[in-house]
Amino acid sequence: MGVKLVRIDDRLIHGQVATTWIKNYEIEQVLIINDKAANDPIQKSVVGLAAPPGVKVMIFGVNQFINILKKSEIKKSTMLLFTTSTDVLKIVESGLVDIKEVNAGGMRFNDTRKRLTKAISVTPEEEQAFVKMMDKGIKINVQMVPKDTSVDFKTLI
C-alpha cells in the first residue's frame, strides 16, 4: 500500500485520470496537493465528482500536506496528484514521502512557459524543479495515458 503513483496534471481529475490511471494502479484514494485548489471552495466541492465510485478524493495545500505526513503515514493505495513540479519538489525535499518516480501528464502552455511536448510546458522554475528531482535519482516520465509510450524527461531538456 502507500503511494502508488505520483502524477503532475494541471487538469487534476478528469477522464484520463479517472478511467485509466486510477484503474491501472488500483488506487483507493487520490490526494490532490495544491494550494490554489485547497483554498477554492468550489473546486473542493466538485473535484471528487470525476473520480470513480469508491475512490476517495481529498485536497490539501502543500504545507498542510507536509504537516499531515509528519503525524501519520499513507496506508491506502494512493495517487498523489499535483499541478506543478515545484510542489512535488517541496514534498520530496520534506523527506516524508519516498518518491522514486513522477509521471508528468499535463502542464498546459501559456505565455510564461516553454513547450517541451504537446502536453508539457514549463516555467524556468518548474524546469529547475524537474532537474533537482532527477539529480536526486527520481525518474521523471512523460505519459498521457498508460498505453502511451513513456518518454524520459531527460530527453526533453
Tell me: pLDDT of 17 over 80. no
SS3 87: helix
pLDDT surpassing 80 at residue 19: no
Which amino acid makes up residue 98?
D
Query: Taking the CB of residue 85, how many other CB atoms lie within 10 A of it?
Result: 27
Is 14 marked active-site?
yes
What is the reported pLDDT for 101? 95
Dihedral Cα 16, 140, 10, 68, nearest 10 deg: 100
Q: Any residues with CB less than 8 A from the CB of 16 and at least 6 apart, and which?
A: 105, 144, 145
DSSP structure class, residue 12: -
Q: What pLDDT shows up at residue 65?
A: 96
How confident is the model at residue 67, as a pLDDT?
Answer: 95
d(CA 120, CA 42): 26
Sign, CA dihedral 6-101-85-66, equals positive
Per annotation, catalytic residue among 14, 100, 114, 136: 14
pTM score over 0.85: yes
pLDDT in tens, 68-104: 999 998 999 999 999 999 999 999 999 998 999 999 9
